[in-house]
Amino acid sequence: MKMKMNKREKNNIILIISSFFIGLIVSFIIMNIFLPKEVGNTYNNSLTKTIEKVEDGVVLIETYTGMAQPSAGSGFIYKKGPLNAYVLTNEHVLEGEKIIVTNSKGQETEGKVLGRDSYLDLAVIEINTSSAPKALTFGDSTKTKVGDSVFAIGSPIGRRYQGSVSSGILSGKDRIVPTKINDKDEWVMKALQFDASINSGNSGGPLFNSKGEVIGICTMKLIEEGIEGMSFALPIEDAEKYLDLLEQGKEIERPELGISMTNISNTLQLINNDITIPDDTMYGAVVLDVKEESSAAKNLQKGDIITQIDDQEIRDTTYVKYVLFQHNKGDKITIYYLRDGKKKSTKITLQ
């Protein structure tokens, strides 16, 4: 027996079928607009466009002494003027007498070192504006969060791999990383940690956020057995505040406490100075001597163990220097220390 549909039922079926096909069409449009597209074997994502926007601001830096090439690294153009442009890099990259800067187009030009600082591991190089295709934009690393996407552009192993890109995430902030100045003096730096791969030749190159803004300067990575993906960059704010001085070739003046120090682990030196450390004291910087009329002359004395300055824990003498070098003469700091096993604090105006 045949069933006959009335007009309303027919209209409902037509409406259902129409809605189904309209839904398919809308879904197809949304997928094409909002989802990444595959074009051949190329994955077209947002990072590609960002890299294209900034890659012309990154340069290769090679140094020469005679025919020898003692060092090579990376850098980036951060400012352009009518005649000259300015390149920022790591100070340790500049070991030779002659500096050759090669831009992303392969154009070479000789660079002039305007200013350098070994503690910050920073240097500013001047080049002709005609050799500077693009100046990069500074971001704000303080606004980044762990897990944010980052990428680096540089020249690992030198010219052959110029313009190499590596990407990853921000793994940590405000990391205190031990290092050495001129491969000799111990030092610490506060750094951004990230897992994008960098190698010899990446030093001095930019670390970017996902917008293509420079948030750091790639400086080092940990190289030890069993360690992978631990790279570090100097936050761009720590470099930016000294750029005017470096461009003018002026030395960065830093305050002093006027004390000589040693580490708790330096047992022989402590014995020679007749200083005894409490058994439960695990870290700190031990005062050996205080200069007359220095910043600390009226506040500290031989045998005091500095354990904290402001909000920074002091593990050893390198931490004291690091904290001092974040300040200017005339700044006031609060020092926390142990004297005869008792906790004390004092405020000092730096000279």
pLDDT of residue 43: 42
pLDDT interval class at 188 (50, 70, 90): confident
Regarding whether 239 and 155 lie in a shared domain, the answer is yes
Lowest pLDDT segment from 120-129, 301-310, 322-331? 322-331
- 17 found inside a domain: no
Task: For residue 313, give the CATH number of its domain.
Answer: 2.30.42.10
Residue with the larger pLDDT of the pair 290 and 11: 290
Task: For residue 207, give the CATH number of its domain.
Answer: 2.40.10.10
Residue 209's closest CA among 137, 156, 104?
137
pLDDT of residue 221: 76
Residue with the larger pLDDT of the pair 105 and 223: 105
Residue 232's closest CA among 160, 173, 166?
173
In three-state secondary structure terms, 212 is: coil
Q: What is the pLDDT of residues 13-41, one digit of tens each?
A: 555 666 666 666 666 666 665 555 544 44
pLDDT at 114 over 70: yes
Residue 121 among the catalytic residues: yes
Q: How far apart are CA 202 and CA 218, in angstroms?
A: 7
Q: In this structure, which long-range contacts are made by residues 142-148, counting pairs with CB atoms below 8 Å and at least 24 apart in sequence?
A: 142/235, 142/237, 144/170, 144/173, 144/192, 144/209, 144/215, 145/170, 146/170, 146/171, 146/172, 146/173, 148/209, 148/210
Catalytic residue among 117, 121, 304, 316: 121
pLDDT at 2 over 50: no
Regarding whether 183 and 211 lie in a shared domain, the answer is yes
Q: How far apart are CA 187 and CA 81, in angstroms?
A: 35
Regarding whether 211 and 240 lie in a shared domain, the answer is yes
User: What's the whole-number mean pLDDT along residues 285-294?
Assistant: 93
Q: Would you state the structure tokens that stand for residue 8, as one six-digit string?
A: 């309303």
Which domain covers residue 274, as residue numbers?
259-349
Mean pLDDT of the chain: 88
pLDDT interval class at 66 (50, 70, 90): very high
Residue 92 among the catalytic residues: yes
Q: Which residues make Cβ contacts (< 8 Å) with residue 348, sequence separation at least 6? A: 257, 295, 296, 299, 332, 333, 334, 335
Regarding whether 238 and 204 lie in a shared domain, the answer is yes
**Cα angle 324, 143, 350; round to 5:** 15
pLDDT of residue 178: 84
The amino acid that residue 309 corresponds to is I
Residue 203 among the catalytic residues: yes
Q: What is the pLDDT of residues 68-95, one digit of tens each?
A: 999 999 999 999 999 999 999 999 999 9
Regarding whether 240 and 156 lie in a shared domain, the answer is yes
pLDDT of residue 270: 94
Q: What is the pLDDT of residues 225-250, one digit of tens each?
A: 667 788 999 999 999 999 999 999 99
Q: Which residues make Cβ contacts (< 8 Å) with residue 270, sequence separation at least 6? A: 262, 264, 276, 277, 286
Catalytic residue among 71, 149, 155, 203: 203
- 21 found inside a domain: no
Residue 161's closest CA among 209, 197, 121, 109?
197
Q: How far apart are CA 49 and CA 46, in angstroms?
A: 6
Percent of the chain scored above 90 by pLDDT? 70
- 14 found inside a domain: no
pLDDT of residue 44: 47
C-alpha gyration radius of the chain:
29
Catalytic residue among 92, 117, 171, 231: 92
Regarding whether 239 and 159 lie in a shared domain, the answer is yes
- 7 found inside a domain: no
pTM of the model: 0.81
Q: Which helix (H) or strand (E) holds 64?
A: strand 58-65
Q: What is the pLDDT of residues 297-318, one digit of tens each?
A: 889 999 999 999 999 999 999 9
Q: Would you state the structure tokens that stand for residue 278, as one six-digit string?
A: 């409490």
Q: Give just the sign of the alpha carbon dihedral 263, 328, 192, 230.
A: negative
Lowest pLDDT segment from 30-44, 97-111, 268-282, 323-337? 30-44
Q: How far apart are CA 117 and CA 115, in angstroms?
A: 7
CA atoms within 13 A on the CB side of 106: 2
pLDDT interval class at 5 (50, 70, 90): low
The region that residue 106 occupies, defined by phi over 0 for left and psi between -120 and 50 for alpha, beta otherwise, is: left
User: What's the whole-number mean pLDDT along residues 272-276?
Assistant: 93
pLDDT of residue 16: 61
pLDDT at 351 over 90: no
Count of domains forming the chain: 3
